[in-house]
A = this chain, B = another copy of it.
Amino acid sequence: MNGTGQDLAGIGILLIQTPDPTLAKLYFRYAAMNAGKSTALLQAAHNYEERGMKVQLFTAALDDRAGKGVISSRLGIAREADTFGPNTAFVGEHFGADTACLLIDEAQFLTTVQVRQLHRLAHVDGVPVLCYGLRSDFRAEAFEGSAALLTLADDIEEMKSICACGRKATLNLRVDARGQRVSEGEQVVIGGNERYRAVCPSCFYQDDALGPSAAPGLFG
């Protein structure tokens, strides 16, 4: 065990201060809408801090659900966070040696370059990185950040949520102001979670009468 350490609680357990590139990993926890991603991120941050470790939180700059620079959970917990945009550089020299962990919400909005930087941050600089994000958009198409994280992350875990029919939700669909399903439009619509439903594949295909020839766009 390398690193200068401090004895916690007098029971012979050392806190390693030096980042360890052979230990750190890039983690990705993905889910459909409303699975509890932000809650899980805030819990993980709490777990680190309770052990005396310093964490750094990020969320996407475009997310204004809770105001710029806030990670907020539907359970009622919220906390300030740095924001990242497409030009943010996640490189080692930006993070002090005392950063025990990076936690990134809305990670679907990372670029492929940023995900590669984060992979390198874990494995060259020794800083663990925990990313939380949506897997696919309302057309079941990939988000750039999520596709890159699914390709590179050392540890991938699905956070389960349920469809209204009781099955596991793995996809999202978008509805308009009157609750009607929308099949075209921008990948991202600012305006809150009420425009999305997390659904299982059976429900996703339920109002789709076009058959398998429609595969490319799912909705034709």
**Residues of A participating in the B interface, judged by any CB pair closer than 8 Å:** 1, 8-16, 20-23, 34-36, 39-40, 42-44, 46-48, 50-52, 73-77, 89, 91-93, 100, 112-113, 116-117, 119-125, 128, 135-136, 140-142, 146-148, 150-152, 154, 156, 158, 161-168, 170, 173, 175, 178-181, 197, 199, 201-207, 211-213, 215-216, 218
Contacts and interface: CB of A to CB of B under 8 A. Distances in A.
A179 B9 contact: yes
Contact of A12 (B44, B74, B206): B206
Given A124-B212, A146-B151, A39 B48 contact: no
Given A35-B47, A136-B151, A150-B147, A212 B121 contact: yes
Contacts of A92: 212
Contacts of A125: 212
Contact of A175 (B9, B42, B76, B168): B9
A202 B8 CA distance: 15
Total copies of the chain: 4
17 contacts: A1-B202, A10-B179, A11-B173, A11-B180, A12-B203, A20-B166, A23-B167, A34-B50, A75-B75, A76-B77, A116-B140, A121-B212, A140-B152, A147-B147, A147-B150, A154-B201, A156-B156
B165 A16 contact: yes
A209 to B, nearest CB: 11
A220 to B, nearest CB: 12
Of the candidates A136, A164, A180, the one having the most CB atoms from chain B within 10 angstroms of its own CB is: A164
A124 B215 CA distance: 11
A176 to B, nearest CB: 10
A46 B74 CA distance: 8
Contacts of A207: 11-12
A13 B73 CA distance: 25
Contacts of A180: 10-11
A181 B212 contact: no
Contacts of A75: 39, 42-43, 46, 75, 77
